[in-house]
Structure 1
């Protein structure tokens, strides 16, 4: 696994993490059709919880997003965005590391294709990013933020051994939000979670 260096002399996470049957890879502009199809199929599933899914995706919007991700590592807003792919190249979700907590921490955000929920895909991808990010010399903590009502999202950090460090009121940004935010954090990583059905 290769770790590069940014123009700010800080190590950056690798652009590709191979888990065998799953691949986390930096988005490319050539992923447009597959990413757009996955987001379109999953829009009704994502909209209740994701502020960015308020409107259905558009090809033009996703093209801009992919161009941004392909041109910058991290993006200007401090994000490392990965697609989650099967061995055959199908898009089954997305995951990212976000530089919006503090200089020694990164936040993990994720979404799953509606046809692939309940298979442990996001837990395995989040585990891989947790492990990877904690090898970066300036990072000592990973966080996952979610609404308290989003049971599926909260199950991921719980399964990975993250500690619930905060439960507090926050603005509602998506239709199903309760207005109570949960912050989960870890400074270490447990063994990889088992695959679904194992």
Structure 2
């Protein structure tokens, strides 16, 4: 996929560039980013250089992940990151972080909504999924504000630094953003509680 730029009302979402290395390194010193995401901990400058110069561009070239630097449109200042991970044909998972000094302003929700809309309209996604370790209240708040419906808890579904963690999982459908789905969606009928075969 050719790297793309997504403008929003207040932001510009653009592919990462080597010039972002220092800003990424600084943002990822935040203990909360290291605690709740899968970035290396401790986070060294070499990690930031590898991300901006090699890993993120390779994701676009290989169609494995579409990663965006989230910047303020008025100043170009980096406020966060949003990535769309390719999980299979028309299957995508969103992930994100916000720089500590820019949290609480709705930037991440705005960016996640823009990336999800792009996934539906340009990539033909039938669903965008969100996962976060149980307890990551900030990530959950962003997901819910962006329209994701939290659907449950998956046990041992999130690998984090050599351990399996339980995670919340949520989904966003095109209709949740007022968009048409490329394929019809036939939801399961409400059958009430399942009844076992025997007593």
Q: TM-score, normalised by structure 1?
A: 0.77
- Name which of 12, 16, 27 aligns with 2:16: 27
Structure possessing the higher radius of gyration over alpha carbons: 2
Q: How many Å apart are 1:147 and its aligned residue?
A: 1.5
Q: Given the alignment of the two structures, is residue 91 of structure 1 paired with residue 56 of structure 2, yes or no?
A: no
Residue in 1 that maps onto 2:131: 145
Q: Which of 89, 112, 135 is matched with 1:103 structurally? A: 89
> Could you tell me which residue of structure 1 aligns to residue 141 of structure 2?
155
The aligned residue for residue 177 of structure 2 is 190
Following superposition, the deviation at residue 178 of structure 1 comes to 9.7
CA contact (8 A) 1:84 1:93 kept: yes
Match of 2:193 in 1: none
CA gap 1:143/1:32 in 2 versus in 1, 3 angstroms: same
Give the alignment's Cα RMSD to 1 decimal.
2.5
Deviations 1:77-133 (A, max 9, x none): 711111111121211111111012x31211110001011111111111000011111
Distance 2:82 2:123 in 1: 21
Which of structure 1's runs of 4+ aligned residues deviate more than 3 A? 69-73, 171-175
Alignment: residue pair count: 175
C-alpha change, 1:178 and 1:58, in structure 2 (3 Å) is closer
Determine the C-alpha separation between the residues in 2 that align with 1:136 and 1:78.
16
Please list every run of 5 or more consecutive structure 2 residues that lacks an aligned counterpart in the other structure: 179-199
Distance (Å, rounded) in 1 between the aligned partners of 2:165 and 2:51: 28
After TM superposition, the score normalised by the length of structure 2 is 0.77
Gaps of 5+ in 1: 1-5, 7-11, 192-198
Measured after TM superposition, the shift of residue 31 of structure 1 is 1.6
